[in-house]
Chains A and B, each alone.
Chain A
Amino acid sequence: MRLLEELIEKLQWLPGIGRKSALRLAFYLQKMDEAKVKELAGTIVRARTSLKECIICHNLTETNPCPICTDKSRVQDRICVVEQPSDVMIIERIGEYRGLYHILHGVISPINNMGPKDLRIDSLLKRVSQNKIDEVIIATNPTTDGDITAVYIAKLLKPLNIKITRIARGLPTGSDIEFADKITIAKALEGRQEI
């Protein structure tokens, strides 16, 4: 039982997994086809070792720069700023947005000791000032921290004299982009406003 106990404990390293869920997962894994379990473990390891941050947009990618940054058919002078790589996945799934991205990997939150230095903000500033960028769309979540981060970035980019927009507050307040349905995000992107 030592090994089982170890597995249950380690599964709890994952976010959102408490002891109960860990127990359930551990027993489920024992019932699964052994080959499948090996495949799963292998993919987890491979993803972790070969996915790196894109040197331009900081999205997770196997190739550097990432496929989006190197896709010449995309609109090159528009950048959508989001909190997490998962936000990119959601917006991409809708397929309406054709510009580039910039992933912050978090938000400004003094309470959680997160300041601009902990985010990919310096590289955003550099990127925007060194390239011909026409519009920066700030799509951080409509939460307190998301808003503070948006205002911060807007103030930072202001001297560059480019169009800065914020996605409309069509999203239900308090919820993350992740939970909003596709239609609301599409609308939010469409109805963005200049700030």
Chain B
Amino acid sequence: MIKAIEYQGFRNLINGRLEFARDFNFITGENGAGKTNLLEMIYYAGMASSFRAREERRLICFGEDHLRIDASSKNRQGTIYLDHTRKRLSLQGNEISRVTDFVGWLGVVILSIDDIWIIRGSPGRRRYFLDWAVARISPSYLGNLIAYRKVLKQRNRALQLFENNGNVRVLDALDEELIKYGNRIYEVRKDKLVALREYYNEIANRMGLKKFDFSYRCSADDMKLDTSQLERIRKREIALGQSLIGPHRDDLYFTIDGRAMQYYASEGEERVAAISLKLAEAEMYYRLKQERPVLLLDEVGAELDNFKKGLLLEQLKGQVFYASTQMPGFNGIYQDRDLSFFIIKGGVIEVSPAH
């Protein structure tokens, strides 16, 4: 839970300090007012990266030379300073040298309307979702993933060069490294996928009338790489100059009533699937860390019918930030909850009196 945030030089937001409600924080404002920027800032405070800017420098307000964010939870305090040449992170006032030691001091999960592309988009998009959902709760996973990618790059190059001056023993060495890191990734994925699927089924089936499910499409036998599999396909890999099996070729296959979502689901159903997946990620985080991540909802639910919108709001657990051009409809669920309303105009955030 994030209690307060103090900020300078972040995007279009005018420097200030905000205190948040324990349960629901509603953020409204016109297009371009800075709603997404506020959510992005909260995400950045916890993850030290953005969910939309590849280049972090873009986060610094036009014309400013640095940004600074101080965020505090119940018992922790994280600070990020960024200028055009360096980034400084600290926790409880102590400087942190490795980003991986900082990430996740504050758990955050972002839900946005772009999430529909996890369901609709390319397999790469789904792997990206899966990898980050897992990396967040399993620190060594990210390291293995990075190592795997580096080996993969070398291996693909070696396969392409093979016809000219290839060396079988080099390929053997690369196979061994690929197997080592690939299997470490598989071990963790295997374990986490069971949990993710269980929560996804629970949440999605509470929101929809049809049966939502997914399965893991694995390019390797039994989610395990070994030399005999790689030997079997080596000729083909050399011909194509590409590594054909491993965690980088797998996919999540989403179904609705047993049929492929990509072909048979309505847009609203795809949105339910995407939202459920993100909430399942949050649930997975909670079960492991015994602490609910902050949920950031950007315009989510706008396309859902009122009934589903109500169901969605009921599913949200922990501290919620809900940004929209319009206030959501109100029903009983807000009673006895700690609420705050923020109105943004041109980057100025005002706390509005409770409704």
Contact = CB atoms under 8 A, between A and B. Distances in A.
Given A148-B151, A151-B177, A156 B169 contact: yes
Contacts, number: 47
Interface in A106-138: 108-111, 113, 115-117
B75 interface: no
A63 to B, nearest CB: 34
A173 interface: yes
Interface stretch (B152-160, B254-262, B320-328, B333-341): B152-160
A115 B153 CA distance: 15
B163 interface: no
B36 to A, nearest CB: 34
Most B-side CB within 10 Å, residue of A113, A145, A147: A147
A151 B161 CA distance: 20
A152 B169 CA distance: 7
A110 B161 contact: yes
B217 interface: no
Contact of A110 (B143, B157, B172): B157
Nearest to A116: B167
Interface string A148-164: 11011001100000000
Given A111-B153, A144-B147, A155 B174 contact: no
A173 B143 contact: yes
Given A109-B154, A110-B154, A111-B154, A148 B173 contact: yes
Given A151-B177, A152-B173, A115 B165 contact: yes
Majority secondary structure of chain B interface residues (helix, strand, loop or mixed) = helix
Interface residues of A, number: 18
B194 interface: no
Contact of A155 (B143, B151, B158, B173): B173
A147 B147 CA distance: 11
A148 B143 contact: no
Contacts of B169: 116, 152, 155-156
B83 interface: no
B177 A155 contact: no
A113 B177 CA distance: 19
A148 B174 contact: yes
B223 to A, nearest CB: 23
A144 B170 contact: no
A144 B154 CA distance: 9
B226 interface: no
Interface string A80-123: 00000000000000000000000000001111010111000000
Interface residues of B, number: 19
Contacts of B76: none
A111 B157 contact: yes
Interface string B171-209: 011101100000000000000000000000000000000
Nearest to B172: A155
B167 A115 contact: yes
B341 to A, nearest CB: 46
A111 B174 CA distance: 13
A70 B173 CA distance: 33
A151 B181 CA distance: 14
A108 B173 contact: yes
A156 B173 CA distance: 10
B150 interface: yes
A144 B173 contact: no
A155 B167 CA distance: 13
Contacts of B150: 144
A94 B165 CA distance: 40
Interface string B138-155: 000001000100110111
B170 A110 contact: yes
A28 B161 CA distance: 46
A156 B169 CA distance: 8
A145 B170 CA distance: 11
The 10 closest A-B pairs by CB, nearest first: A110-B157, A110-B158, A144-B150, A151-B173, A152-B173, A111-B157, A151-B176, A110-B154, A148-B173, A155-B169
Interface of B: 143, 147, 150-151, 153-155, 157-158, 161, 165, 167, 169-170, 172-174, 176-177
26 contacts: A108-B170, A110-B154, A110-B157, A110-B161, A111-B153, A111-B157, A113-B161, A115-B165, A116-B169, A144-B150, A144-B151, A147-B177, A148-B151, A148-B170, A148-B173, A149-B173, A151-B173, A151-B176, A151-B177, A152-B169, A152-B170, A152-B172, A155-B169, A155-B172, A155-B173, A156-B169
Given A110-B157, A144-B177, 15 more contacts: A108-B170, A110-B158, A110-B161, A111-B154, A111-B157, A113-B161, A115-B167, A116-B167, A144-B150, A144-B151, A148-B177, A151-B173, A155-B169, A155-B172, A173-B143
